[in-house]
Amino acid sequence: MIDADAAQVLTSEGWVRSRPVTPKDGSAMAGLRALVEPNKGQMRGPSARPAFDGIMLRVPAPEGVSFEAGVVGGIAGWWCWVADTTPGRAILHLHGGWYNWGTAHAFRHLVGHIAVRAGADAFIPDYRLAPEHPFPAAPHDVQACYRGLADMGHRVAVVGDSAGGGLALGLLPVLAAQAKAPVGAVALSPVTDLTLAGASWASRAAADPYFTKDQVKTLVDAYLAGHDPSDPLASPLYAELSGLPPIRLHVGDDEVLLDDSRVYVDRAVAAGVDATLDVWNGMPHGFLSGVGRVAAADHALAAIGAFLSERFEKGGS
């Protein structure tokens, strides 16, 4: 169902919702651009890890959530424990960072906001990063972590952002083939096509305040280490999508990754998957980190929480 505050559906199929930007959010994004665009495309390689983590560590901690280091399926990470939740429900959240950056510790507050709205505990694995551990180390780690949560008796929902969104969507066909599908999945600005063929790499090149195609290619090359970028485990856009659980995607309209979401959902719907995409106008990559300050972030988190809560109630594992 289309939310009351969504703009008109963009396609006749009804799977894309265009979310309007408020004047206040527009002003906030203008200020953000002025701050970050001088460094556009400059973050490259392992040396950028401290700066990237520093960005995520600025997300305010949510109320009603505690955090604890842990190990699931042999993979270290961080738990987000929700004070008021139903036992036996767990979110597997896969963090972003272009497969080269990011830590569970740095993402724990953002994931806590998702967890408390979904009414479920969450685990964030520290999957192995490139270039030290190229493909397929990261997909293998998230598969092990999912199995670990399932073996603990949890009904699991899979969530991921950016590169973690690509890992989340890449995990789904593997689980479907094993008849171990999660109750549902959410991907936030996911990386779905490592061939970098999406039209928005050109159409949103100026609008995106963070990334350039040249910069991203160096990160993707470090991750793939010569592997075929169209391998479905690396680029879920090219996977067999039939039989997947319900999926919700959220992306900013000012992202070079916009078409990674649009084309993926188009193909998923064509394959019979219950999939929808929310496009947040005026929003750049990672806008959910503005929780509490950016209305679009709060609205997106509310929609994600409602979807996950519904899937835990209705879905199976």
The residues annotated as belonging to the active site are: 162, 255, 285
Could you tell me which residues are beta bridge partners of residue 157? 91
Alpha carbons 71 and 207: distance in angstroms, whole number: 39
C-alpha torsion angle, residues 168, 170, 173, 174 (rounded to 10):
-90
250 contacts 302 by C-beta, under 8 angstroms: no
Q: Which residues of 99-136 are buried (b: 16+ CB within 10 A; e: fewer)?
A: bbbbbbbbbbbbbbbbbbbbbbbbbbbbbebbeebbbb
Reported as half-sphere exposure (CB side, CA atoms, 13 A), residue 160 has a value of: 31
Token pair belonging to 139: 């997909």
| Helix, strand, or coil (residue 121) | strand
Q: How far is CA 66 from CA 1, 128, 131, 169, in A?
A: 33, 24, 32, 27
Q: Tell me how far apart the terminal alpha carbons of the chain are, to the nearest angstrom.
A: 24
The enclosing H or E element of 92 equals strand 89-94
Tell me, what amino acid is at 273? V
Could you tell me which residues are beta bridge partners of residue 75? 72
Token pair belonging to 95: 């963090």
**What length does the chain have?**
317
Q: How far is CA 221 from CA 14, 45, 53, 163, in A?
A: 36, 11, 22, 14
Alpha carbons 222 and 268: distance in angstroms, whole number: 28
Other beta carbons within 10 angstroms of residue 159's beta carbon come to 27
Alpha carbons 95 and 126: distance in angstroms, whole number: 8
